[in-house]
Amino acid sequence: MAKETKSKPVLSKAEGWNGFSLRPRKEMPDGLWMRCPGCEHMLYKKSVEKNLNVCPECNHHFRIGAATRIKYLTDEDSFQQILSDLTTTDPLGFKFRGTTYKQRLKADEKKSGEKEAMLIGKAFIKGRGVILAVMEPNFLMGSMGFVVGEKLCVAVDQALEESLPLVVVSCSGGARMHEGVVSLGQMAKTSAVLAKFDEAKGLFISVLTDPTTGGVTASFAMLGDVIIAEPGALIGFAGPRTIAETIKMELPEGFQTSEFMLEHGFVDMIVHRKDLRSEIARLIDYCQK
C-alpha cells in the first residue's frame, strides 16, 4: 500500500514563504511616542500629557506652551486675557542669516498660536483672584522685547488697581536681540514698575521654569516676594558653557539648576507641577492677599 503524503499548502505571493507575510506593514502613526531627555526612556505621549507633561519615570518637567500652562494653573475657563492683539514692530530692520525679524515673527506666531511671547490676564487659582502673566517658549524662545515688557507693566498696573496678587511664570531665553537696546530697556522698565508694586505692599509670586535666563533673570524673574522654581529648571544669566569658557574653571555639578539655586539661596522653594496650584493658593492665603 502506497504511503500517504501530505501536500504543502500553497501560499500566495503576498503571504510569502514559511508563514511570513510579504504584505506592507502598517506604519506606526507619528507623534505617539517621545523620548525623555532626563532618563532617555521612550514614553507614550498621551501618558505624559495626562501627567501634566512630566515624565512618569524620572519627573523631568517638559517645557509647555503658555496656553497649556494657564490650563494647568487656573480654575477652568477663568482666564480673561488682556492685550491679546498687541504686537511688536521692527525698530532695527533686523536680519539674521537671510531671515528678517518680520518673517521670524510670522513663523513663530504660526508655530505657537500666539502673537507674542507673553500672555497676561485676570484669573482664579483655586478660587483666589490673581493677575497672571505667562511666557510662551515657542515664540522666539520666550524672549523679552518691547511687547513683553509692556504687557508685564500693564499686568502690574492691573494688579495694583484691583489689589490682587501678581503671578508671573517665566520661561525665556532672555532679552530679544532683534530689538537691540529697545529690548534691554525693558529690564529697567519692568524692574521700576515692580518696585512701585512693592512699595504698595503688593504680593508678587515669581515662578521660574526651564529655562529662565538672560535679561529676564536679571530683571523681573528674580524680584518676586516669593520665588518658586520647577524641578530641574535651568536658571541663570549667561549659559554654563559661556561662564566656564570665560572664567576657565570647571563648574560645580548641577550648576544653574533649580536645586543648585535653592541650595545657594536664590529661590525660595522647588514645587512639582502637580502641586503648583495648591502652593500658590496657600501662599496667597498665608500673605492674606
Residue ranges and CATH numbers for the domains of the chain are: 26-60 (no CATH), 63-286 (3.90.226.10)
Fill in the DSSP letter of residue 235.
B
What is the pLDDT, as a whole number, of residue 31? 77
What SS3 class is residue 198?
helix
> Residue 156 belongs to what H/E stretch?
helix 146-162
Sign of the Cα pseudo-torsion (212, 225, 230, 277, in order): negative
Pick from 9-23, 80-94, 273-287: least confident: 9-23
Pick from 12-26, 96-110, 132-146, 249-263: least confident: 12-26
Check: CB of residue 182 under 8 Å from CB of residue 189. Answer: no
Provide the CA 4 distance to its chain's centre, in angstroms.
74
Provide the CA 106 distance to its chain's centre, in angstroms.
20
> Residue 276 belongs to what H/E stretch?
helix 276-286
Q: What is the pLDDT of residues 254-270, one digit of tens each?
A: 999 999 999 999 999 99
> Residue 129 belongs to what H/E stretch?
strand 128-135
What is the pLDDT, as a whole number, of residue 253? 87
Q: 485676570: which residue's cell?
A: 122
- Residue 139, exposed/middle/buried by CB under 10 A (0-12, 13-18, 19+)? buried
Average confidence (pLDDT) over 177-194: 97
Mean pLDDT of the chain: 92
Cα within 13 Å of Cα(247), Cβ side: 10
What is the pLDDT, as a whole number, of residue 18? 55
Q: Which three cell numbers stand for residue 145?
A: 522685547
Give percent of the chain above pLDDT 70: 90
What is the pLDDT, as a whole number, of residue 24? 59
Q: What is the pLDDT of residues 122-151, one digit of tens each?
A: 999 999 999 999 999 999 999 999 999 999
What predicted TM-score, i.e. pTM, was given to this entire model? Answer: 0.88
Could you give the CA distance from residue 43 to residue 49 in angstroms, rounded to a whole number?
A: 10
